[in-house]
């Protein structure tokens, strides 16, 4: 046997062995995967998973859409698999009892851990922060800022001035507008102005165009896409296994795009924080915007003094918090506003009662400034928004994990099991809502016959992680709806569709809502 022949047979033997080893590894992986699946604790119904990808092909990146389309096949609980991790859907209010409790003595404080966020330092804010002590301090600071009457009063005025800046277009005889785009531009501007204290020009550019082509304006516009992509990116991180992200062309390119987007957000907000910290250190006046409050709380510039047991927030924590608050506040509020307008367009009786309430509180002067105190009197408008959130919740699912073994719905769950609380199904449960598909704001009015069952209405989640932006969102929604409906009649262009046009990107997003706004003054002349 020549040396070449020997080497060739050796290579062949090695290749054959390698193939055998790979085959053996695959068989072992598949056997282990299905052993784990078939011997799982408390098995529930759900789509059958495949090794490595779990239910990716049935569920995609849209667990909320999957739950909406398939809930009738399952009972109050079902499961899906993400790779080799189990996610449990809870679709009945009674199952949330141990999760939505307002103190830390529950086992469901944590959300899922996302290594990608840890790699770029974005686990230090609120939404994905599982360190209770740090989360508690950050949350206290955010709540102190976003829920203070001083902030909310200023925010009410800011919403009006932003609307008025662009109102000349609305005052035309007929203003044809894609309201889905208009609101997204509006909420981006107002959120960025109040969180970063920087001007933002999305709405102006949307309405008047951009003759200057300036970098500042381009940056504002980029924020709309960047914040929307934030939650899309999170879903991608949770649902797509690493091997697909790194080696399969479609997923690989999406991954690259998401990383680029996140880096841009990180850098842009970092620059804003650096500049503002320097301005504050140079004794610029501290305002009531989120960035100022987060940068100064518990420092020598804090007007409430300083507590030695608590550290101020680092730039990294401020950055993560501002990014999260912006991403969590822009789309959610814009889409809620679209769904309220869609519902109102189908319920003229409700619009008439809303206008009666407006006249009672604000009088006949349609230019009178609206105050935060006025908004608190709008109980019918409050009920309209709530009923719209019940029927079309923009956040259809919220997510928690159990840090210890626990029991839900009579089933035992091992630590780190992930739970999706299905707001959409809970909001439509016939056990809690009479005629659940009907739009009846009156059920939310005090003194109505309808009793709101605990945890049956949860558009802002619940328990200790309940949305800290809920008052800000309600102030923004109420102000905007009053500004629109007291002066304009709104007509949908598409009067036929039974549902608004939506896609699911983490939140339920209204993709298109073409309306015609007509000035009521003009029509009355
Ligand atoms: C109509 C608009 C909004 C809806 C429907 C909404 C809904 C939600 C929901 C369902 C959660 C999860 C709560 C849970 O796990 O129990 C949440 C969390 C959160 N929201 Fe909102 N939200 C809205 C507006 C806002 C605004 C305007 C902000 C801030 C400006 C905001 C900031 C946050 C933050 C930071 C969290 C994470 C809280 C934590 O984990 O401690 N949201 N929101």
Q: So what's the pLDDT on residue 394?
A: 97
Cβ distance 401 to 418 under 8 Å? yes
* Residue identifier of the C-alpha nearest atom 1 of ligand 1: 333
> What does the alpha-carbon distance between residue 469 and residue 460 come to, in Å, rounded to a whole number?
9
Question: Does residue 506 have its Cβ closer than 6 Å to ligand 1?
Answer: no
From the centroid of its chain, how far is CA 187? 13
pLDDT range class, residue 62, cuts 50, 70, 90: confident
**Ligand 1 test: best mutation among 188, 321, 332, 390, most atoms within 8 Å of CB?**
332
Question: Does residue 290 have its Cβ closer than 6 Å to ligand 1?
Answer: no
> What does the alpha-carbon distance between residue 412 and residue 86 come to, in Å, rounded to a whole number?
13
Size of the chain in residues: 525
Question: Does residue 396 have its Cβ closer than 6 Å to ligand 1?
Answer: no
Sign of CA dihedral 398, 475, 122, 246: positive
The tens digit of pLDDT for each residue in 45-54 reads: 999 999 989 9
For 7-29, what is the mean pLDDT?
Answer: 84
Query: What phi and psi, each to the nearest 5 degrees, are found at residue 108?
Result: -115, 30
Cβ distance 403 to 110 under 8 Å? yes
C-alpha R_g of the chain: 26
Structure tokens belonging to residue 243: 């091997």
Kindly give the pairing relationship between strand 418-422 and strand 488-492.
unpaired
Task: Look at residue 425 and give its three-state secondary structure.
Answer: helix
pLDDT range class, residue 514, cuts 50, 70, 90: very high
Closest of 308, 336, 328, 290 to residue 474, by C-alpha: 336
Which residues, other chains included, contact 157 with Cβ-Cβ below 8 Å and sequence gap of 6+?
369
Per-range mean pLDDT, top range of 297-301, 330-334, 517-521 = 330-334
Whether 523 shows a pLDDT value over 70: the answer reads: no
Q: So what's the pLDDT on residue 525?
A: 38
Question: Does residue 192 have its Cβ closer than 6 Å to ligand 1?
Answer: no
The 8-class DSSP code of residue 121 comes to T
Question: Does residue 461 have its Cβ closer than 6 Å to ligand 1?
Answer: yes
Computed over every residue of the chain, the mean pLDDT equals 91
> What does the alpha-carbon distance between residue 464 and residue 478 come to, in Å, rounded to a whole number?
25
Closest of 482, 424, 411 to residue 63, by C-alpha: 424
Whether 219 shows a pLDDT value over 80: the answer reads: yes
**Ligand 1 test: best mutation among 386, 460, 506, 509, most atoms within 8 Å of CB?**
460
Whether 143 shows a pLDDT value over 90: the answer reads: yes
Prediction ipTM score: 0.99
Q: So what's the pLDDT on residue 403?
A: 87
Q: So what's the pLDDT on residue 9?
A: 73
The tens digit of pLDDT for each residue in 234-258 reads: 999 998 988 899 999 999 999 999 9
Whether 318 shows a pLDDT value over 70: the answer reads: yes
Exposure string for 417-430, b = 16+ CB within 10 A, e = fewer? bbbbbbbbbbbbbe
In the block, tokens 């309940």 appear at 466
* Residue identifier of the C-alpha nearest atom 37 of ligand 1: 127
Structure tokens belonging to residue 62: 């849209």
Sorted by where each begins, the domain ranges of the chain are 92-161+170-203+215-524
Matching CATH number, 92-161+170-203+215-524, of 1.10.1060.10, 1.10.630.10, 1.10.3720.10, 3.40.640.10 = 1.10.630.10
Whether 307 shows a pLDDT value over 70: the answer reads: yes
Partners of residue 495 on adjacent β-strands: none
Query: What phi and psi, each to the nearest 5 degrees, are found at residue 399?
Result: -125, 135
Whether 524 shows a pLDDT value over 60: the answer reads: no
Task: Look at residue 264 and give its three-state secondary structure.
Answer: helix
* Residue identifier of the C-alpha nearest atom 35 of ligand 1: 325
Cβ distance 194 to 289 under 8 Å? yes
* Residue identifier of the C-alpha nearest atom 13 of ligand 1: 461
3-state helix, strand and coil shares in percent for the chain, rounded to the nearest 5? 55, 10, 35
Which run of H or E residues covers position 490?
strand 488-492
Query: What phi and psi, each to the nearest 5 degrees, are found at residue 246?
Result: -95, -25
For 333-343, what is the mean pLDDT?
Answer: 98
Question: Does residue 468 have its Cβ closer than 6 Å to ligand 1?
Answer: yes
% of the chain surpassing 90 pLDDT: 70
In the block, tokens 């600071």 appear at 141
> What does the alpha-carbon distance between residue 46 and residue 43 come to, in Å, rounded to a whole number?
9
Tell me how far the alpha carbon of residue 469 lies from the centroid of ligand 1, in angstroms: 6
pLDDT range class, residue 1, cuts 50, 70, 90: low
Which run of H or E residues covers position 136?
helix 132-146
Count of CB atoms situated within 10 Å of the CB of 479: 25
Question: Does residue 125 have its Cβ closer than 6 Å to ligand 1?
Answer: no
The tens digit of pLDDT for each residue in 449-464 reads: 889 999 999 999 999 9
The torsion of the CA quartet 217, 290, 188, 149, rounded to 10 degrees, works out to -130
For 110-120, what is the mean pLDDT?
Answer: 90
> What does the alpha-carbon distance between residue 478 and residue 472 come to, in Å, rounded to a whole number?
10
Strand order of the sheet with strand 85-90? 77-82, 85-90, 418-422, 397-401
Cβ distance 98 to 406 under 8 Å? yes
Higher pLDDT, 458 or 22: 458
Partners of residue 240 on adjacent β-strands: none
Beta strands in 131-244, from DSSP E residues, in sequence order: 175-178
Query: What phi and psi, each to the nearest 5 degrees, are found at residue 504?
Result: -105, 115
């Amino acid at each position: 046997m020549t040396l070449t022949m020997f080497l060739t047979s050796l290579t062949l033997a090695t290749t054959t062995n390698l193939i055998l080893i790979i085959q053996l590894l695959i068989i072992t992986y598949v056997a282990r995967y299905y052993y784990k699946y078939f011997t799982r604790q408390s098995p529930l119904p759900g789509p059958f998973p495949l090794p490595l990808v779990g239910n990716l092909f049935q569920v995609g990146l849209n667990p909320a859409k999957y739950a909406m389309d398939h809930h009738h096949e399952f009972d109050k609980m079902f499961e899906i698999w993400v790779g080799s991790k189990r996610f449990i859907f809870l679709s009945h209010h009674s199952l949330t009892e141990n999760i939505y409790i307002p103190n830390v003595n529950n086992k469901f404080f944590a959300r899922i851990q996302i290594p990608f966020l840890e790699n770029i330092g974005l686990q230090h804010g609120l939404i994905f922060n599982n360190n209770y002590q740090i989360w508690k301090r950050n949350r206290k600071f955010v709540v102190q800022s976003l829920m203070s009457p001083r902030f909310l009063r200023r925010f009410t005025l800011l919403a009006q001035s932003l609307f008025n800046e662009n109102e000349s277009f609305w005052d035309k005889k007929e203003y044809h507008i894609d309201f889905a785009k208009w609101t997204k531009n509006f909420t981006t501007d107002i959120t960025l102005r109040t969180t970063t204290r920087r001007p933002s020009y999305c709405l102006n550019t949307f309405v008047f165009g951009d003759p200057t082509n300036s970098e500042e304006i381009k940056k504002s516009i980029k924020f709309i896409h960047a914040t929307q992509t934030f939650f899309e990116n999170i879903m991608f991180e949770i649902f797509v296994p690493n091997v697909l992200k790194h080696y399969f062309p479609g997923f690989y390119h999406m991954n690259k795009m998401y990383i680029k987007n996140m880096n841009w957000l990180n850098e842009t907000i970092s620059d804003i924080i650096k500049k503002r910290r320097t301005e504050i250190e140079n004794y610029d006046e501290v305002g009531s915007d989120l960035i100022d409050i987060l940068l100064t709380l518990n420092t020598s510039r804090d007007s409430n003094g300083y507590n030695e047991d608590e550290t101020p927030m680092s730039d990294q924590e401020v950055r993560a918090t501002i990014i999260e608050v912006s991403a969590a506040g822009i789309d959610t509020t814009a889409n809620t506003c679209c769904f309220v307008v869609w519902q109102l367009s189908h319920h003229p009786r409700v619009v008439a009662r809303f206008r009666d309430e407006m006249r009672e509180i604000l009088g006949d002067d349609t230019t009178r400034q609206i105050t935060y105190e006025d908004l608190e009197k709008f109980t019918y408008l409050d009920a309209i928004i709530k009923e719209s959130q019940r029927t079309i919740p923009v956040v259809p699912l919220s997510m928690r994990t159990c840090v210890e073994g626990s029991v839900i719905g009579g089933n035992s769950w091992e630590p780190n099991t992930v739970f999706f609380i299905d707001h959409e199904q809970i909001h439509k449960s016939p056990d809690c809502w009479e005629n659940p598909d009907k739009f009846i704001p009156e059920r939310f009015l005090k003194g109505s016959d309808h009793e709101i069952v605990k945890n049956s209405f949860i558009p802002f989640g619940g328990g200790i992680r309940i949305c800290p932006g809920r008052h800000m969102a309600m102030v923004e929604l109420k102000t905007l709806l009053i500004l629109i409906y007291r002066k304009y009649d709104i007509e949908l262009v598409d009067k036929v569709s039974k549902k608004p046009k939506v896609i699911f990107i983490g939140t339920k997003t209204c993709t298109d809502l073409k309306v015609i706004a007509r000035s009521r003054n003009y029509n009355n002349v």
